[in-house]
Amino acid sequence: MLMDSTYARMGFSTYPSPSMACVLKDVPVFEKPVAMNATKDTEYISAEKFSQITSLLYEAAQDPESWKPFLEAIRLQLGGNYTSLIVRPGNADDVGLIVSAAGDRQDIDSSNPKISMSPFRGMPTDRIVTIGDVMPESEWRGSQYYKDWCKGLQVFHVMAADVATKDGCVYGLRVTRSESSPAFNQQERNFAGMLLSHLKRALNLHLALHQDRQVISLYSRAMAQLMVGVVILDQNGLVIESNPAASGILEMQDGLKISGGMLEANYGNDNRKLQRLIKDALMHTQVSRLSMTEGMSVSRQSGQLNWGVVVQSISPDEWTEGKQRPSVAVFVRDTGGKADPPVKLAQQLFQLTPAETLLAIQLANGLSLEEAAEALNIRRNTARAHLRSIFSKTGVRRQTELVRIFLNSVAWLGNK
């Protein structure tokens, strides 16, 4: 029922997944696959029912929580007691991941060590097989895998397939029945075979979407750590989303805010200019494929340094033109905000001691040497000694130069 060949370690972000790689293992050679005719005996399932099942599958490609409804639909269609998607097996370091639909039964425990005894391990990919294709029934009944694992779960008949994705990872689809149920017939095998190509596409879509989301999340965190806020507006000027840095700025309502779903400046003159820039950017997308970029300064009620704001048009493509879509990006830079890079990373980059790193961070945040010493609760002479050592290690001669190289370093991009 379960396999231990090549397993995927990425995707399924809402499930526990401590690793993001594939584990490649030896793949044994099976007998030549039996050709399947997907054009015959297809009356087993109606076109409407097949469409409903594939719709659930493609929903699962976008949302991992939807895999169970898809698997449950397969279980009910095939009259099985379990339907499982094997993402990866369990081992000493990883409990593994098997997404299963079992009706009112308990889901498959992916961490059970007996899974490694499966006769379906390492089988050729993209092919429907049953127990009869792997071993005689007498050998199956006498196997330790059946006696120790399957029999207790009332699993006797098994239909299986391993599906390979574009990145070389392999997922396992398993459908099982009890001994009191009939074996899987050719019509049911044909149905599963027709579904395999859709499953492969859905898994490839799932992996691509997950990877895109990871990359976008990484970019968003990097922008936030550089204290650059990003607000995305649609073709009507309504806010679609904002990154964490922008959300923090807007929550303060200190010069900028969200009102009626639109980005606004608190002061009238600033708001009129901001709305004009947004309107120009929206109009620009209708007449030109080139981006328009304009900037302005927005005053803050707190009296702190003004926000630096850049408004940029987002050109549509042929598939989104005239439809709801991201149309304008507004960038906001907190030039006066204090940064707090990971001390360990800054220490590694500049080969400083922990005490020297803490002092350098205070100086980079605009404090004088005396103010930094007071903030760190150290003597001024100690602070001066640290500063001399910092100068020596970084090769700079002035405090302003130290601040410049520190602020321009990648230390601010580290995860705290």
Distances in Å between the Cα of 166 and the Cα atoms of 142, 169, 200, 206, 220 are: 37, 7, 9, 11, 27
Give me Rg for the CA atoms of the chain. 30
Q: What is the pLDDT of residue 404?
A: 77
Q: What is the identity of the amino acid at 266? A: N
- What pLDDT digit, counting tens, does each position of 370-404 carry? 999 999 999 999 999 999 998 888 888 888 888 77
Which ranges constitute the DSSP H helices of 89-185?
131-134, 137-142, 144-145
Computed from CA positions of residues 185, 186, 192, 196, in that sequence, does the dihedral angle turn out positive or negative?
positive
Domain 42-214 CATH class label: alpha beta
**Separation CA 168–CA 286 (nearest Å):** 42
Using the 8-state DSSP alphabet, how is residue 125 labeled? B
Q: In angstroms, how far apart are the furthest CA atoms of the chain?
A: 89
CA distances from 371 to 176, 337, 382, 397 (A): 71, 17, 13, 20
The predicted structure's pLDDT at residue 16: 41
- C-beta separation of 9 from 91 below 8 A: no
Looking at CATH, the fold of the domain delimited by 226-333 is given as Beta-Lactamase (3.30.450)
Q: How far apart, in whole angstroms, are the C-alpha atoms of residue 33 and residue 252?
A: 65
Residues in CB range of 176: below 8 A, 6 or more apart = 1, 80, 81, 82, 83, 150, 153, 155, 156, 157, 158, 159
User: Could you tell me the mean pLDDT of each successive run of 10 residues in the chain, 416 residues long?
Assistant: 36 40 34 39 75 94 91 94 84 72 78 76 90 92 90 93 89 94 94 94 89 72 71 91 89 94 95 94 74 88 90 74 76 69 78 90 85 92 92 86 74 58
Instruction: Round to whole Å and give the CA distance between 38 and 18.
Output: 39
What CATH number does domain 343-413 carry, 1.10.10.10, 1.10.10.60, 3.40.50.620, 3.40.50.1220? 1.10.10.10
**Count of beta carbons in the 10 Å neighbourhood of residue 379:** 10
Distance, in Å, from the CA atom of 346 to the CA atom of 408, rounded to the nearest integer, reads 12
Name the helix (H) or strand (E) containing 164: strand 157-164
Neighbours of 144 (CB within 10 A): 9
Going from N- to C-terminal start, the domains of the chain cover 42-214, 226-333, 343-413
Question: Is the CA virtual torsion 239, 240, 244, 245 positive or negative?
Answer: negative
**Closest of 330, 246, 254 to residue 294, by C-alpha:** 330
Torsion of CA 178, 181, 186, 188, to 10 degrees: -70
pLDDT at 197: 92
Q: Which amino acid is at 69?
A: P
Position 338 scores a pLDDT of 58
**216-to-150, 213, 243, 339 alpha-carbon distances in Å:** 43, 5, 11, 22
Question: 42-214 with 343-413: one CATH topology?
Answer: no
Q: Is the full-model pTM beyond 0.75?
A: no
Span 59-112, pLDDT tens digits: 999 888 899 999 999 999 999 999 999 887 666 566 678 888 988 887 777 666
